[in-house]
Structure 1
Amino acid sequence: MQIINFNEIESTQRYKLMSGNIVPRPVAWIVTENNRFINLAPFSYFTGISSVPPLLMVSIGRNKKGLNEPKDTFKNIKETKKATVCLVPVELAEKMDRTGEVLPYGESEAERFEIELERIDENFPPIVKGCKRAFLTTLYGTFEKDEMATIPFFLKIEKMYIGGDFEPVARVGKGYARLCEMENEKWKM
C-alpha cells in the first residue's frame, strides 16, 4: 500500500497521477472564434456538472510556450463569451489529437490540419464536420486563483446538436479509448 501526499510532489507528478487514474475522461474538442480566426483544441479535463442550469466545465491550462500566456481557447472564450464543444467520434480521433499541437496565436488548427467545419447556427462557432454531438455554449463563469495552472470555465449549454449515433473517444492516461454501451437493460435510458 502507498499513500502519496500531493503537497509533497511536483505538479507534473500530480497531473500524471490524476490523468492516469480519473478515467475515462471525455474529450471536449472546442471550437472558438474571434473576428480574425477560428481556433480548435482538445481538452480532457472536461465534464458535465449541472442540469439546472445546464453547465459543462472545462479546465483550460496555460500555453505550453509560457505559463503566463493563456491558450487561444481561453482568450477567445473570455473575449466572445461563446464556444462550441464537440464530442469526438472514433473516426476523428487522430485529427483531434493533432489539434493539441501548440500553434502561434492566430493560426487555425482547422486550416493547418485540413479539418472541415460546418456552421449550424450563426450565433455560435461552427462544429467539426463529422462530429455527431456538440454543445453550443455561452460563458457562465470562471474560477480563477493565482496558484492555479488550469482555470475551470463553466459553460452554459444553450443548444445541443445531435447528428446520429456515435462511438465517443475518451482520454485514458496518455492515450485514448473507445467507449462502448453496456448491454444490461437496467443501465439503459
Structure 2
Amino acid sequence: MKPTRLLASVALASSLTAGAALPAVAQPAAPRTTAAAAAAETTATPSAQASAKKIAKNNGIKLLNHHVSGVKDARSTAKANIRDAARGKKAYTSRYAHPRGVKVALNAKMLHAMQQLNAKKRFTFRVTAIAGSKHSPNSAHYKGRAFDVDIVNGSYVSTRGPGLTKAKRLMKACTSYGAKLVLGPGHSGHSTHVHCQW
C-alpha cells in the first residue's frame, strides 16, 4: 500500500473513532399518499370528536341550524359544524365568508370548554356561529377556534338587565376555561352576542 493511501486510511479510522460523522446523504422525502392527504383534509382530532358528540346530544346547548344573517348555507351552520366534528370530520366555513367554504378542524380545547360550560357551570346557551357565518377577515372563527352565543340562561345577550349580567358570567367562565379572547356587551360589535376564542 502506498504511503498516501495508508495515511488517508489512518485519518479516516481515527476520525470515526473520535466520533466524527460522515457527510449525510440527503434522502428524498416520501411522497404523500392520496389516502394520507385525504385523511389530513377530513379528520378531526379524537378529543374534538368526543366533545362534539357530547355537545350534539346536549339539550342545554342549542345549536343554530341557520345563519343570523339570513343567508342560506346549510353545511356551515353551528349545528352542521358540530355534526361534522362529531363524525370525525372537519367543519365548513361559509361560502359567503372571507375564506369561502373551506374545511377547518374545530379546536379541541374550545369544544371541551363549550361542553363543560353546560355540564359543570350549568349554563344553557345558544350558539349562533362557530366556523360559519361572516366575520372580520382574520377571524379565529375561520380557524375553528371561536364560537358566538346570543342567548344565555334564557336571556338574549344585551347591554342592560339580565341579558348583560348573564353574558358577563358566561364571559368570565369562558376565560376560566382558557379562552384567549372574550368579547361581549361593552365591546364594539358585540352588544348582542358573546364571542369566546381559543
Range class of TM-score, shorter chain: under 0.3
**TM-score relative to the length of structure 2:** 0.25
Structure 1 or 2: more helix by fraction: 2
**TM-score relative to the length of structure 1:** 0.25
- Structure with more relative contact order (C-alpha pairs < 8 Å, separation 6 or more): 1
Larger-Rg structure: 2
